Amino acid sequence: MAPPTGPVSPKKGAAPAPSKSPATGPKAAPKAKAAVAAKGVPKKIAIAKKVVKRVQLKTRKANVPARKLTARAPTLKSKITPGTILILLAGRFRGRRVIFLKQLTSGLLLVTGPYAVNGVPTKRVNQRYVIATSAKIDVSGVDVSKYTDAYFARKSEKKAKKSEDEFFAAEASKPVIDAARKSDQKALDAALASKVGGKNTLLYKYLGARFTLTHGMKPHAMKF
């Protein structure tokens, strides 16, 4: 008897035949990713870098020596001249009137009360924080050559380290004014005393009065 030529159905209870597909495992990297990893840089990025280099070569300038920056003092306002009476707008003595003496190398203004009139010592102020008035006195004979930026420089002293108890126990010491500064202030006040006049003069009272604004006063409409 000849064997059957058609497909043979598996018998009941027989184990299924093993599949012919390969065993499952980690998938291999695609060929495209392997090629990119081998080259290192994608093709588009490499082309973009070449274009940037060409642009840089075309726009590159010749070696130009760097300019040396020099500090320049700001231009003094036209209304501020030696002898002009200014009104301070900031700081401890804001609202006080002072006499302008000269402009220092740093651009700051050298002013004084005088100290004997309104308690403002000789100091430096920024011209941004003053108002120039129309009042003016003659200070041509007053010698202010010794007053420079170095004259007002603070002396830096190295402080020893303190323990925790000493730090909290120590009290803030008041700054001590040099005797030379006091004598210079007295000499400057004496030179300006003849210009200002006595206590009964109008200029003396004007310098001693503090500038203030009250309700209804318009600063932009005032003439100083």
**pLDDT of the residue at 14:** 55
Residues pairing with 84 in the sheet: 136
**pLDDT of the residue at 4:** 56
Tell me the H-state helices in 60-197.
115-118, 164-169, 179-196
CA dist 140 and 192 (Å) reads: 11
**Mind giving me the DSSP string for 169-203?**
HPPPPPPPPPHHHHHHHHHHHHHHHHHH--TTSHH
**pLDDT of the residue at 150:** 92
The mean pLDDT of the chain is: 79
Would you place residue 64 in the very low, low, confident or very high pLDDT band (cuts 50, 70, 90)?
low
Ordered by start, the domain boundaries in the chain are 84-153+180-213
**pLDDT of the residue at 88:** 96
**pLDDT of the residue at 154:** 80
**pLDDT of the residue at 25:** 52
The DSSP symbol for 90 reads S
Give the strands of the sheet with 130-136, arranged side by side. Answer: 123-125, 109-112, 97-103, 84-88, 130-136
**pLDDT for 96 beyond 80:** yes
**pLDDT for 222 beyond 60:** yes
CATH fold group of domain 84-153+180-213: SH3 type barrels. (2.30.30)
Side-chain-facing half-sphere of 20: CA atoms under 13 Å: 0
**This prediction's pTM:** 0.63
**pLDDT of the residue at 147:** 94
**pLDDT of the residue at 43:** 67
**pLDDT of the residue at 159:** 67
Joined tokens for residue 101 = 């003496």
The DSSP symbol for 38 reads H
Which stretch of 28-32, 156-160, 178-182 has the lowest confidence by average pLDDT? Answer: 28-32
Q: Do 86 and 79 meet the contact criterion of CB atoms below 8 Å apart?
A: no
> CB-based contacts of 78: which residues, under 8 Å, 6+ apart?
none
Using a pLDDT cut of 90, give the percent of the chain over it: 43
**pLDDT for 18 beyond 70:** no
Using a pLDDT cut of 70, give the percent of the chain over it: 64
* 99 phi and psi angles, rounded to 5 deg: -105, 130
SS3 state at 43: helix
**pLDDT of the residue at 189:** 94
